[in-house]
Chains A and B, each alone.
Chain A
Amino acid sequence: MTVAPLLAGAAALLALSIAAIPLARRPAGNKILYGLALALSMLLLGGAINHLVSGADPAWIRLPLGLPWIGSRFRLDALSAFFLAVTNLGGSAASLYAMGRGAQEPEPQRVLPFYPAFLAAMNLVVLADDAFTFLLAWEFMSLTSWALVMAHHRERGNAHAGYVYIVMATFGTLALLLAFGLLAGPGGGYDFAAMRTHEVTPAIAGLVLALVLLGAGSKAGIVPLHVWLPLAHPAAPSHVSALMSGVMTKAAIYGFVRIVFDLLGEPSWWSGLIVLFLGGITAVLGVLYALMQHDLKRLLAYHTVENIGIIYIGLGLALAFRANGMGAAAALAMTAALFHVLNHMLFKSLLFFGAGAVLGATGERDMEKLGGLARNMPYTSFVFLVGCVAISALPPLNGFVSEWLTFQAILLSPDLPQWALKIMAPAMGGLLALSAALAAACFVKAYGVTFLGRPRSEAAREARETDAFSLAAMSALAILCLMAGILPGFVIDTLGPTTLSLIDERMPVQASVRWLSIVPIAESRSSYNGLLVFAFVAASATFAALVIHRFASTRLRRAPAWDCGFPDPSPATQYSASSFAQPIRRVFGTSIFRAREEVNMPPPGDGRPARLTVTVRDLAWELIYVPIVRGAAWISERLNHLQFLTIRQYLSLVFAVLVFLLLVLASWQ
């Protein structure tokens, strides 16, 4: 499988986005364009999978574009093939979904031209094989997604979201640029092949790692660089949110893996330590903040932060093991991380699609105004439930498998020689477990408040099921979640070449294991069989149902809710999202969220309702961003006085510079 066809596909996507400019306003344009995007993504997906399973050698090509003396190089190896597959799987799903939901866009001409370009950019990022092409595609990806975020520019706060996003993105790009500058050296060997051979000192390597964490991390949403993510992802149209959360963050992961594992050469153990630590913190903070949200899409966005943390835990372990020459363990950790990359793409896209469907049906993102949608939107509610179970890392779905693998990797960490790692690894394991449990709590909340209970608003009561395309997309993803959950062995085997290419080691082949269960190291040590678990649960559930309906009653009576004898007709008395989260807010509360609860209780006899207002703020804003912004504003205010000087004062400036230079000259030699 050579690169050229894939590039052709990407180019076709770009052409599509140009064609979209005139077509966008046509009524049929929507279906045509998204349909074509779907077809192209499918083709690219096919190419990537073909390369993965055929295990072909890396292929590369050099186009006379980009930096003149280097050209723009593209390379397809196992790693890029895997991420290419992830990207285009997400891309196809989103396009399919958009064939239905895209029609509801108020201003399609602000979405359609950028959507295919966005897809193309992500494809090019994973294919690029020299620094310039990589960064070009990378920043172009940011640019197009920014344009898509600004598609709903009229909504309140979206401009702010887009602004924070684009600035953070450019910050990240500049950081990566510096990293590449170091890797390339003053000679300017910008192609990756040269960088692989170019040896760097440990100090430089550390600097590069830091810069990559800043660059790729800000794109992926590592705490505290995550602040843009929960603003920007929800602001975009839902299928784009899905792409940004599910796919674009993966491009960021790809960047990290490519640079740190491939270009940077042998890691040192503390790099693993840092990455591990960041991952753990990110995972827990992400989910904690997610718990406090009652905007459905923002909640999902914060969960992206959490899952990125989980992936980084895996990557950190892989670094640590590799630095100590524990190949098998490193391969296990790496597989876990990459597996989670795939999983997160699947269920996060699914969930964003669901949120989009809800948004379309009710016009609401605020969970406090939703509820009871399970009755009017049965299919959506079912597939959304699948997504919730998957993201909560519960068997038998896919989310559990990757976290299980991560746990298995952590259990190997006592063999690490360094104390810091010995202590850090289990601690992060605890955080991982915590975040998993909290995720479950959070999705009980999200699903329970949105789809269950009684409708909290007219819109929710009037909601209708979403269209066929969206349902098809969501169902496809749900099925994939299940498949990846009960047949993980195949995914692990497909990841083999990738880990092999990164850390000359791969997990044992799983396809041969009996009953298709997965065995990371040895069966006596640990094994898991999603298929059997699923079969058992299904079987015993049906068994129980059959027995009960056969031998016991089948009678059923509908009646008003019992509610301990005090049934209240008003839906307002239900548990709301924030009340559901209240116990956890109490537990982790004030320190992490800066949560402030204020009750103002009117005096007795006063008719006004008492109200409780809770404010939850993101620490990162408080501690980092606000001061920076204030500082910049302060400086520019001070400097701004220079705008209002008189000519004489300007002359004095010139004069001063002249005298200064003359003094320098006089004191020369």
Chain B
Amino acid sequence: MTGAAAWIGSNGVALVLAIPFASAVLLLFLRGYRLSARLNALSSLLTLLASLSLLAARPAASDYLLVDDLNIVFIILNAFVGFTTSLFSASYIAHELEIGRLTGGHLRFYHAMYQILLFGMNLALLANNIGLMWVAIELATLTTVLMVGIYRTHEALEAAWKYFILGSVGIALALFGTILVYMAARPVVGEGPNGMVWTVLVEHAASLDPGLLNLAFVFLLLGYGTKVGLAPLHAWLPDAHSEGPTPISAVLSGLLLNVALHAVLRFKLLLAANPEAIAPGPLMAAMGLVSLIFAGFMLYPRRDIKRMFAYSSIEHMGIIAFAFGMGGALANFAGLLHMTMHSLTKSAIFFAVGHISQAKGTQRIDDIKGLTVSHPLLGWSLVVGVVAIAGMPPFGVFMSEFLLVSSTFARAPLLALLLVLGLLVAFGTLMVRLHALAFGEPVGRNERVKASYVPMIAHFALVLTAGIYLPAPLVAWFQHVAEMLH
């Protein structure tokens, strides 16, 4: 028993990668919906456990894989949301089967892709080699492209295609950036694979060629920024969210954006460690602010509920990017907290929205009214979710926004005013829609759905707790990461 524990402890990293991959292969050949859904959930759970084991025993960094304070936050979050989403997807996909939007063939593909996606993201997070990271992110992107297009409708295909093309260009730019980093490193680190190992790079960061690093960062920011969904590189995001199956929207918003962000952060660290290089902060802050305000205004004219929340994801990614761009202990802490809270809340919202759109048979906001009357539980969860994501207490987002806004105002009042403007606009627009969706007389068809509330409630419980009480170890850990990020 203890032996097993020890073994797991020692091979945590391998497990985090192996479990999804193996189950993906398995799922590809597995028939029967119920079984594969269960296997999907099970393997996600195992991945979660494995990732938790990383807390206990942290393996030393190899040339290819690395576990440090920064990415462990992401990995555990990733595994957790991946697990809850797999639970949600079980009930969601069941309904899709009943109404015949999906067929068995699609399903095998779907579940396999889901695991591949988890694998790709975990790999991207664990990668200690910027080339490997690039490959992993491309893999994740391609899988999501395939899943977005899974419904084969006109819109779905167009969304997938848009995502694909913009994504590929992003990938290309990111690769160019990666090459540039290598070239910057080569004179110092010497030729060969070492020039791509992140830990090595960070060691020698100070002596790398600043000019090349700057150039590299521009390309990396644009390349991975496309994945993060920062305006004006966001175009793929709303469509991909609104046309794909909802579990995928949840994973996209909750996880993939974070993974891309993690990549950007890694390179930010690299630049920050180099005194002559340009400060990456202002770039990120500017893009973040633009995304925030832009998305805030774009929320208003939306007619499609999933698309609206996709824009809200852009908004929050903007906030997070802004926070990390501002830097400093408080802002970084706020950024990390906000990222975590956003992943949990937004995915929970998508869980709710998924069931709602199934119950109403539409995603058009105008055709959804009075949910708190027709579907009390779903309706109120939507209310809670929107209230939480809009940054109202007692939910976690409030704390991060509190820290961000107040600390920024003391440092850069004008930026803070812009930030507040963006927050207000986004809040106002979200609330307009919420009033229409949740209150008033219900319209349209009101089917009961067999919804799985557990993931939703679990997420909300976490977000609520975090809003009131953050456990000391978590805080210390976040603070350490914040220190790390300067």
Bitwise interface map of A from 340 to 353 toward B, beta carbon under 8 Å scored 1, else 0: 00000000000000
What's the minimum C-beta distance from B366 to chain A, rounded to whole angstroms? 15
> Is the beta-carbon distance between B406 and A651 smaller than 8 angstroms?
no
User: C-beta contact mask, B57-85 vs A, less than 8 Å → 1, else 0?
Assistant: 00000000000000000000000000000
Cβ of B232 within 8 Å of any chain A Cβ, yes or no, is yes
A177 at interface, CB cutoff 8 A: yes
Q: Is A541 engaged at the interface, CB distance under 8 Å to the other chain?
A: no
The distance in angstroms between the C-alpha atoms of A181 and B405, with both chains bound, is 8
Interface pair B215/A654, CB less than 8 Å apart: no
* A109 closest partner in B (C-beta): B376
Max chain B Cβ within 10 angstroms of own Cβ: one of A174, A182, A651 = A174
Q: In residues 80-101 of chain B, which contact A (Cβ within 8 Å)?
A: none
Interface residue ranges of B395-421 to A (CB < 8 Å): 398-399, 402-403, 405-411, 416-417, 420
Whether B484 sits at the interface, judged by CB under 8 Å, is no
List the A side residues contacting B298 at CB < 8 Å: 636, 639-640, 642-643
Residue contact A643 to B300, C-beta cutoff 8 Å: no
Interface string of B286-303 (1 = CB under 8 A from A): 000000001001111100
Q: Which residue of the partner chain, among B215, B294, B372, B394, contacts A665 with CB atoms under 8 Å?
A: B215
Which listed residue (A166, A640, A657) contacts B431, Cβ 8 A? Answer: A166
Interface hits, A615-662 → B, CB 8 Å = 632-633, 635-637, 639-640, 642-643, 645, 647, 650-651, 653-654, 657-658, 661-662
B460-486 residues with Cβ-Cβ distance < 8 A to A are: 467-470, 472, 475
Interface string of B231-242 (1 = CB under 8 A from A): 011011010000
Q: Which residues of A contact B193 (CB under 8 A)?
A: none
Stretch at the interface among A62-70, A259-267, A291-299, A396-404: A62-70
The yes or no answer to A528 lying at the interface (CB within 8 A) is: no
With contacts A132-B399, A150-B439, A645-B235 taken as known, whether A639 is within 8 angstroms of B297 at the C-beta atoms is yes
Contact partner, B420, options A132, A178, A645, Cβ 8 Å: A178
Q: Which residues of chain B are near A662, meaning CB under 8 Å?
A: 218
Contacts of B162 in A (CB 8 A): 647, 650
Q: Does B173 contact A (CB under 8 A)?
A: yes
Binds B, one of A136-144, A462-470, A514-522, A569-577: A136-144
The residue from A185, A635, A654, A668 contacting B222, defined by CB atoms under 8 A apart: A654
User: B166 near A139 (CB under 8 angstroms)?
Assistant: no
Are the C-beta atoms of B232 and A651 separated by less than 8 Å?
no
Contact call B470/A68, Cβ cutoff below 8 A: yes
Residue interface mask A122-147, B partner, CB < 8 A = 1: 00000000011001110110110000
**Complex CA distance for A657 and B226, rounded to whole angstroms:** 12
Contact status of A163 and B214, CB under 8 A, knowing A153-B440, A184-B406, A654-B233: no
Contact of A135 among B402, B432, B475 (CB under 8 A): B402
Closest to B214 in A: A665
Q: List residues of chain A with CB within 8 A of the CB of B214.
A: 665, 668
In chain B, what residue has the closest Cβ to A162? Answer: B435
Q: Which residues of A contact B394 (CB under 8 A)?
A: 136, 140
- B405 and A661 form a contact (CB under 8 A): no
Interface residues on B, range: 35 or more
| Bound Cα distance from A640 to B222, whole angstroms | 23
Stretch at the interface among B137-145, B357-365, B422-430, B449-457: B422-430
Instruction: Indicate if the CB atoms of B235 and A188 lie closer than 8 Å.
Output: no
Q: Are A159's CB and B439's CB within 8 A?
A: yes
- Asked whether, in the complex, the Cβ of A654 is within 8 Å of the Cβ of B232, the reply is yes
Please report the C-alpha to C-alpha distance between residue A66 and residue B232 in the assembled complex, in whole angstroms.
36
What is the number of contacts between chain A and chain B, taking CB atoms within 8 Å? 160
A182 and B409 in contact, given A66-B468, A167-B427 (Cβ under 8 angstroms): yes
Instruction: Flag whether A2 is at the interface (Cβ < 8 A).
Output: no
Q: Determine the chain A residues whose CB is within 8 A of the CB of B417 once the complex forms.
A: 178
Asked if A611 CB lies within 8 Å of chain B CBs, one says no
The residues of A that contact B439 with a CB separation of less than 8 Å are 150, 153, 159, 162
CA distance A600 to B300 in the complex (A): 41
With A and B bound together, what is the CA distance between A153 and B441 in angstroms?
9
Residues A174 and B423 in contact in the complex (CB < 8 Å), given A181-B405, A182-B409, A657-B233? yes
Q: How far, in angstroms, from A282 to B392 measured CA to CA in the complex?
A: 29
> Using Cβ atoms and an 8 Å threshold, which residues of chain A touch B387?
143
Interface of A is mostly: helix
Given the interface pairs A140-B393, A635-B297, the reply to whether A653 lies near B432 with Cβ below 8 Å is no
Contact A651 B431 (CB under 8 A): no
**Assuming the A-B contacts A167-B427, A186-B411, are A657 and B232 also in contact, with contact meaning beta carbons closer than 8 angstroms in the complex?**
yes
Q: Is the CB of B330 closer than 8 A to any CB of chain A?
A: yes
Q: Is the CB of A132 within 8 A of B402?
A: yes
A534 contacts partner chain B, Cβ-Cβ < 8 Å: no
Q: Is the CB of A650 within 8 A of B166?
A: yes
Contact, CB under 8 Å: B428 / A167: yes
Q: Is the interface of B mostly helix, strand, loop or mixed?
A: helix
- The smallest beta-carbon distance between A334 and chain B, in angstroms, is 29
The answer to whether A170 touches B330, judged by C-beta atoms less than 8 angstroms apart, is: no
Residue B6 lies at the interface, judged by CB distance under 8 Å to chain A: no
For A67, A640, A654, which residue has the most chain B Cβ atoms within 10 angstroms? A654
Cα-based distance from A391 to B420 in the complex (angstroms): 39
Give the docked Cα–Cα distance between A64 and B162 (Å): 49
Contact assessment for A651 and B475 in the assembled complex, using a CB-CB cutoff below 8 Å: no
Residue contact A639 to B294, C-beta cutoff 8 Å: yes
Which residues on B sit within 8 Å (CB–CB) of A65?
A: 468-469
**Contact between B406 and A131 (Cβ–Cβ < 8 Å)?**
yes
Given the contacts A184-B410, A658-B218, A665-B218, A170 and B427 also touching, CB distance less than 8 Å: yes
Residue numbers in B under 8 Å from A139 (CB-CB)? 392-393, 398
Q: Contact at A174–B405, with CB atoms within 8 Å?
A: yes
CB contacts (< 8 Å) of B427 on chain A: these are 167, 170
Chain B residue contacts of A166, Cβ below 8 A: 431
Q: Does B28 contact A (CB under 8 A)?
A: no
Q: Which residues of B contact A651 (CB under 8 A)?
A: 165-166, 169
B278 interface residue per 8 A CB criterion = yes
Considering the chains assembled together, what is the distance between the CA atoms of A35 and B278 in angstroms? Answer: 65
Q: Are B238 and A632 in contact (CB under 8 A)?
A: no
Q: Does A382 contact B (CB under 8 A)?
A: no
Give, as a whole number of angstroms, the nearest-CB distance from B399 to chain A.
7
A632-B406 contact given A153-B440, A658-B222, CB 8 Å threshold: no
Cβ of A97 under 8 Å from chain B = no
Residues B167-181 near A (CB distance < 8 A): 169-170, 173
Nearest Cβ in chain A — how far from B381, in angstroms? Answer: 13
Do A181 and B416 have beta carbons less than 8 Å apart? yes
Closest A residue to B470 by CB, please name it. Answer: A68
- Distance to closest chain A CB from B300 (angstroms): 4
Assess the B440–A154 pair: CB atoms within 8 A. Answer: yes
Chain A nearest CB from B351 CB (Å) reads 21
Contacts of B301 in A (CB 8 A): 636-637, 640, 643
Residues of A within 8 A of B233 (CB): 653-654, 657
* CB-based contact A177/B402 at 8 Å: yes
Q: Which residue of B lies closest to A178 (CB)?
A: B409
- Which residues of A are found within 8 Å of B468, using beta-carbon distances? 65-66, 136
B415 to chain A, nearest CB (A): 12
A184 to B405, CA, bound (A): 12
Given A647-B165, A665-B215, CB of A654 within 8 Å of CB of B440? no
Q: Is A83 an interface residue (CB 8 A)?
A: no
Does the CB pair B475–A632 fall under 8 Å?
no
A180 is an interface residue with CB less than 8 A from chain B: yes
Q: Are A636 and B416 in contact (CB under 8 A)?
A: no
B residues neighboring A (CB under 8 Å):
161-162, 165-166, 169-170, 173, 214-215, 218-219, 221-222, 226, 232-233, 235-236, 238, 278, 283, 294, 297-301, 330, 372, 387, 390, 392-394, 398-399, 402-403, 405-411, 416-417, 420, 423-425, 427-429, 431-432, 435-436, 439-441, 467-470, 472, 475
A-B contact pairs, 7 of them (CB 8 A): A177-B405, A178-B409, A647-B235, A654-B169, A657-B222, A661-B221, A665-B218
Known: A140-B392, A181-B416, A633-B300. 6 other contacts (CB 8 A): A139-B392, A182-B410, A642-B232, A657-B232, A662-B218, A665-B214
A-B residue pairs, 8 tightest by C-beta:
A181-B406, A181-B409, A153-B439, A650-B235, A68-B475, A636-B300, A186-B410, A636-B297
